[in-house]
Amino acid sequence: MVVGLLQMELFIDGATSLKEKRQVVKSIIGKIEGKFNVSVSEVDHQELWQRAAIGIAHTSATESQTRKVLQNIRNFVEALGKATVTRGEISIFAPE
């Protein structure tokens, strides 16, 4: 079993309040969960208007499959155009 984590920092340019930011983040998380079989959560910057951090976890049998899914998610979020991905770090764990 392989576990992969994608940590993404997002900049939400159009947000002028926490309410607007949360609507965008909730929409992004919902779209990721609807398209990919992964767990997603907002993990940091909850009280900042234009910044968000989300964590995404995926498991599979192979490292290449997990890495591919996580990279596809990053590309998907960028293509949505709702936020700018300022950082996207993939970590892979393969317990023995």
| pLDDT tens per residue across all 96 residues of the chain | 899 999 999 999 888 899 999 999 999 999 999 999 899 999 988 888 899 999 999 999 999 999 999 999 999 999 998 999 999 999 999 877
Helix axes 63-80, 18-35, angle to 10 degrees: 140
pTM for the whole structure: 0.88
Domain ranges, residue 36: 2-93
Structural domain count, the chain: 1
DSSP code for 50: S
Residues 6+ apart with CB under 8 A from 65: 2
CATH number at residue 76: 3.30.70.1120
